């Protein structure tokens, strides 16, 4: 219900506002201030009410990369919509030691999302099945919509063939926040609750990181999501950021860079140094 009320408020604001969309604003200097190589990264931020866009490296914004764990956003929606998982479903750990200690325990859908527990989403993909997962990725219009054959069912978002650009991430998330994904309102509400990463007195941040391993080139890093701003007027800012992670510091720069840009354009308070 909250999602629909928020969207209705945005529609009222949109109808009362002249339809004059300014040219995209280049935020390359802010990217540079964050310590990120402009040529090896891109960011796109879109204000939902009027389409105003902030961007860097427009050519790369249209380039597709493996989504890695950002695919847990559509996977969460599919799990909830198909009934493979409820909000409270417990996925029992099989006892195998994996990459992170936080993965090596029982998980709920929410903890698996927050901890990026790959094995849970591989179990979900198995339970959904290849035909249905292919159907849902197509239905959600996610990236190139290609999950490959059945042998790729548990790796297609980690190794390909599924790929997505920053611009396509933005379009997918805009359909999500605007209730245009052709899924039930209950699924969207639960997915939003799982996705909430941070909040303040008049704002909420929904997001997902991604880290894709690549051979003979730097890994790909992602941070995608949206900021809901309640004051002074209701507004949503969708963001998608990716970069080549050339050093260990780059994994921290994913979220930090987006927050820096949101603060720079005046929609999120700057973090204390």
pLDDT, residue 55, reads: 98
Looking at residue 248, the DSSP 8-state letter turns out to be T
Question: Do 248 and 52 contact (CB within 8 A), yes or no?
Answer: no
pTM: 0.90
Q: What pLDDT is attached to residue 248? A: 81
pLDDT in tens, the chain (273 residues): 555 555 544 544 444 444 556 899 999 999 999 999 999 999 999 999 999 999 999 999 999 999 999 999 999 999 999 999 999 999 999 999 998 999 999 999 999 999 999 999 999 999 999 999 999 999 999 999 999 999 999 999 999 999 999 999 999 999 999 999 989 999 999 999 999 999 998 999 999 999 999 988 999 999 999 999 987 789 999 999 999 998 888 889 999 999 999 999 999 876 644
Q: State the catalytic residues.
A: 69
Quick one: tokens of 146? 């290609």
Task: Confirm if 238 and 247 have CB atoms less than 8 A apart.
Answer: no
CB atoms within 10 A of CB 111: 17
Helix (H) or strand (E) holding 244: strand 235-245
Distances (CA, A) of 211 to 38, 58, 125, 205: 19, 21, 19, 20
SS (H, E, C) 126-176: HHHCHHHHHHHHHHCCCCCCCCCCHHHCCCHHHHCCCCECHHHHHHHHHHH
What three-state secondary structure class fits 73?
helix
């Amino acid at each position: 219900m909250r999602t629909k009320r928020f969207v209705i408020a945005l529609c009222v604001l949109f109808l009362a506002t002249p339809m004059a969309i300014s040219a995209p604003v280049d935020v390359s200097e802010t990217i540079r201030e964050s310590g990120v190589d402009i040529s090896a990264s891109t960011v796109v931020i879109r204000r939902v009410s009027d389409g105003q866009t902030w961007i860097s490296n427009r050519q790369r914004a249209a380039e597709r990369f493996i989504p890695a764990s950002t695919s847990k956003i559509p996977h969460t929606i599919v799990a909830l919509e198909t009934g493979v998982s409820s909000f409270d479903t417990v996925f029992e750990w099989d006892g195998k030691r994996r990459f992170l200690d936080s993965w090596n325990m029982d998980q709920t859908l929410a903890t698996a999302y927050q901890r990026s527990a790959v094995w849970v989403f591989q179990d979900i993909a198995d339970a959904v099945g290849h035909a249905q997962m292919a159907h849902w990725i197509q239905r959600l219009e996610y990236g190139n919509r290609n999950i490959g054959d059945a042998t790729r069912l548990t790796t297609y978002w980690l190794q390909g063939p599924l790929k997505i650009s920053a611009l396509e991430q933005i379009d997918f998330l805009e359909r999500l926040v605007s209730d245009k994904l052709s899924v039930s309102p209950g699924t969207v509400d639960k997915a939003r609750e799982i996705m909430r990463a941070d909040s303040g007195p008049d704002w909420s941040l929904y997001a997902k990181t991604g880290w894709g391993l690549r051979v003979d080139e730097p890994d790909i890093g992602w941070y995608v999501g949206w900021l809901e701003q309640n004051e002074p007027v209701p507004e949503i800012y969708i963001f998608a950021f990716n970069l080549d992670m050339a050093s260990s510091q780059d994994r921290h720069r994913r979220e930090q860079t987006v927050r820096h840009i949101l603060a720079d354009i005046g929609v999120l308070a700057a973090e204390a140094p």
